[in-house]
């Protein structure tokens, strides 16, 4: 039962993440910057899917789940998510169908956000309602692993596909950017097909079935969840005392950390992704460890300790990441500098495409690679005005391992705040409105507060340019407010009976 529920949720996360992970490739195919309408749709796709549609999906599918049942609702979200993802892999590019391409992509991305908003609450509720009272944290922690494993799966499949299309690495990457990016999307239909088959064989939640048989299901879950003070106050407590802080810790540890090592530290594309992959691999079992532990000592203090550790250590940890890759304060071995020039003739012209790769070596095994691409014109005196320059850093094994350890520590915090939260949320609300009531605070906490972390953190670094770590103040302040509210108002008591 846990496996059957978790596989579907994992695939939904996979579907959602591949779009984010391939955002640059998709932008080149569907959202050309030269066309203002396409660029506008690109912005909408980025912001609307993550921040508006997810909470909206929580309301739509939460209501449905409390009216018709958990099983059919999270089956529906899976079909919507899988169908949208598969369809993205089939859409002709902007060059072929013009502005229809970005419009269709935007619609499909919105459907993905909507489905994701409905999935989690259903899966967590379903598993919790099957779990024995003293193992609820352990059972639901498997659902909690799916978001991280979904990211792991998406990164892995993208990297494998990127290297499998040609024996020549450069050609393989070029083919991936041209058409191979569609493979991870198309592959989704197989995964979703298997998952739908499994879910069809599952039975409805016993608690919901009992309520339905007794005719005690909610008539208007939205009204009962948010218009009645006695439940609304618990929804607000769940949001401000738990999911808000959990969301920022999660997104800082997994997403902002990756963005930071890639864009601020300038670590090479593949090294930055494999660092995250290893850290996730080592960190994921701890979701189950902390979920299980929460059955023994309660949910509250595990989650709040995760937040506290994040608040205290984020700046030193990120500072360490920056120092490892910082070449400004490291001695350069000037004699070891390497420069390679490659010329590729441009067909039907006398010009060539020139790629100059220079590698500079620094102490502590850091290499700074600069790839400059321009056109070498046959006509004397003519030069490329704005050559394309890409810079990245490569780490030696020791520093590479250090980065994995640092990111692992941050993912450990994620497992502390996220491992017990499904059980915590389930226990706050009555069965008849549980799906609706827990989905909204979860998706505002994660989709809005968490999802905005990379944007706000990056925005802060552009406003206050003197401090490269200034972006961390956003998750630190949000987590601190949440910690304070959690300490004051949240109970550590485990609800022994969620059957009511």
Span interacting with other proteins, options 276-284, 286-294, 410-418, 491-499, rule CB under 8 A: 491-499
Residue from the set 36, 132, 380, 466 that interacts with other proteins by CB under 8 A: 36
Residue 500 interacting with other proteins (CB under 8 A) = yes
**Virtual torsion, Cα 93, 99, 100, 101, nearest 10 deg:** 30
Residue from the set 224, 262, 268, 295 that interacts with other proteins by CB under 8 A: 224
Residue from the set 85, 145, 231, 284 that interacts with other proteins by CB under 8 A: 231
Span interacting with other proteins, options 45-53, 132-140, 253-261, 268-276, rule CB under 8 A: 45-53
User: CA–CA separation, 486 vs 500, rounded Å?
Assistant: 25
Q: Least distance (Å) from other proteins to the CB of residue 450?
A: 13
In the complex with other proteins, the residue whose CB is nearer, 398 or 467, is 467
Residue 479 interacting with other proteins (CB under 8 A) = no
CA distances from 96 to 25, 33, 93, 174, 366 (A): 16, 16, 5, 19, 43
In the complex with other proteins, the residue whose CB is nearer, 331 or 493, is 493
Span interacting with other proteins, options 18-26, 61-69, 399-407, 484-492, rule CB under 8 A: 484-492
**Per CB under 8 A, which of residues 312..371 are in contact with other proteins?**
none
CA atoms 378, 382, 386, 387: torsion sign: positive
Residue from the set 236, 356, 409, 470 that interacts with other proteins by CB under 8 A: 236
CB atoms within 10 A of CB 179: 11
Q: Which residue has the tokens 């930071």?
A: 260
Residue 488 interacting with other proteins (CB under 8 A) = yes
Chain center to CA of 68: 30
In the complex with other proteins, the residue whose CB is nearer, 234 or 394, is 234
Bridge partners of residue 488, in order along the sequence: none
Residue 452 interacting with other proteins (CB under 8 A) = yes
Show the tokens assigned to 305: 């300790």
Q: Which residue has the tokens 């932008």?
A: 27
Q: Which residue has the tokens 């996220």?
A: 418
Show the tokens assigned to 268: 């090479």
Residue 34 interacting with other proteins (CB under 8 A) = no
Closest CA to 441 of 113, 117, 128, 145: 117
Q: Least distance (Å) from other proteins to the CB of residue 233?
A: 5
Span interacting with other proteins, options 46-54, 131-139, 263-271, 277-285, rule CB under 8 A: 46-54
In the complex with other proteins, the residue whose CB is nearer, 100 or 489, is 489
DSSP letter at 226? H
Residue 491 interacting with other proteins (CB under 8 A) = yes
List the beta strands (DSSP E) in 63-172: none
Q: How many residues bind other proteins (CB under 8 A)?
A: 40
List the beta strands (DSSP E) in 264-419: 338-345, 352-362, 366-376, 388-394
8 A C-beta contact, residue 270 and residue 159 = yes
Q: Which residue has the tokens 């499904």?
A: 422
Show the tokens assigned to 241: 């005392």
In the complex with other proteins, the residue whose CB is nearer, 105 or 410, is 105
Residue 31 interacting with other proteins (CB under 8 A) = no
**Per CB under 8 A, which of residues 410..449 are in contact with other proteins?**
429-433, 444, 448
In the complex with other proteins, the residue whose CB is nearer, 169 or 216, is 216
Residue 493 interacting with other proteins (CB under 8 A) = yes
CB atoms within 10 A of CB 448: 18
CA atoms within 13 A of residue 5's CA, in its CB half-sphere: 30
Show the tokens assigned to 406: 């640092």
Residue 295 interacting with other proteins (CB under 8 A) = no
Residue from the set 13, 208, 240, 255 that interacts with other proteins by CB under 8 A: 240
8 A C-beta contact, residue 46 and residue 117 = no
Residues that bind other proteins (CB under 8 A): 36, 39-40, 43-44, 47-48, 51-52, 224, 228-234, 236-237, 239-240, 429-433, 444, 448, 452, 455, 481, 484-485, 488-489, 491, 493, 495, 497, 500
């Amino acid at each position: 039962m846990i496996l059957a529920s978790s596989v579907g949720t994992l695939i939904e996360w996979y579907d959602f993440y591949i779009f984010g992970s391939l955002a640059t490739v998709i932008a080149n195919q569907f959202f050309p910057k030269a066309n203002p309408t396409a660029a506008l749709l690109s912005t909408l796709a980025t912001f609307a899917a993550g921040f508006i549609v997810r909470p909206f999906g929580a309301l739509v599918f939460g209501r449905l789940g409390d009216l018709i049942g958990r099983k059919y609702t999270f089956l529906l979200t899976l079909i919507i998510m899988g169908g949208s993802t598969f369809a993205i892999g089939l859409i002709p590019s902007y060059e072929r169908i013009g502005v229809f391409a970005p419009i269709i992509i935007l619609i499909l991305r919105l459907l993905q956000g909507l489905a994701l908003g409905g999935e989690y609450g259903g899966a967590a509720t379903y598993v919790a309602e099957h779990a024995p009272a003293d193992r609820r944290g352990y059972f639901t922690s498997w659902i909690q692993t799916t978001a991280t494993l979904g990211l792991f799966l998406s990164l892995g499949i993208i990297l494998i596909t990127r290297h499998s299309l040609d024996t020549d690495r450069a050609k393989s990457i070029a083919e991936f950017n041209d058409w191979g990016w569609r493979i991870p999307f198309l592959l989704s239909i197989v995964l979703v097909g298997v998952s739908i088959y499994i879910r069809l064989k599952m039975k409805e939640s016993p608690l919901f079935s009992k309520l339905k048989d007794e005719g005690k299901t909610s008539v208007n879950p939205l009204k009962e969840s948010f218009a009645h003070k006695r439940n609304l106050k618990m929804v607000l407590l769940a949001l401000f005392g738990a999911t808000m802080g959990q969301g920022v810790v999660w997104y800082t540890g997994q997403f902002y950390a990756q963005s930071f090592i890639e864009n601020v530290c300038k670590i090479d594309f593949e090294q930055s992704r494999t660092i995250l992959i290893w850290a996730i691999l080592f960190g994921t079992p701890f979701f189950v460890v902390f979920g299980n532990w929460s059955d023994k000592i309660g949910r509250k203090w595990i989650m709040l300790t995760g937040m506290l550790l994040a608040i205290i250590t984020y700046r030193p940890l990120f500072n360490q990441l920056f120092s490892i890759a910082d070449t400004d304060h490291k001695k350069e071995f000037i004699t070891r500098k390497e420069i390679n020039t490659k010329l590729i003739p441009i067909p039907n012209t006398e010009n060539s495409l020139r790629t100059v790769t220079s590698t500079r070596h620094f102490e502590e095994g850091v290499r700074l690679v600069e790839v400059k691409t321009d056109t070498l014109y046959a006509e004397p005196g003519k030069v490329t005005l704005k050559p394309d320059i890409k810079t990245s850093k490569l780490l030696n094994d020791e520093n590479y391992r250090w980065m994995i350890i640092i990111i692992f520590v941050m993912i450990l915090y994620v497992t502390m705040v996220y491992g017990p939260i499904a059980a915590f949320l389930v226990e706050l609300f009555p069965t008849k409105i549980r799906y609706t009531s827990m989905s909204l605070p979860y998706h505002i906490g994660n989709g809005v507060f968490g999802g905005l972390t990379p944007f706000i953190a990056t925005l802060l670094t552009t406003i206050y340019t003197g401090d490269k770590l200034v972006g961390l103040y956003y998750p630190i302040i949000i987590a601190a407010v949440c910690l304070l509210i959690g300490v004051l108002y949240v109970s550590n008591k485990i609800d022994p009976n969620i059957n009511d």
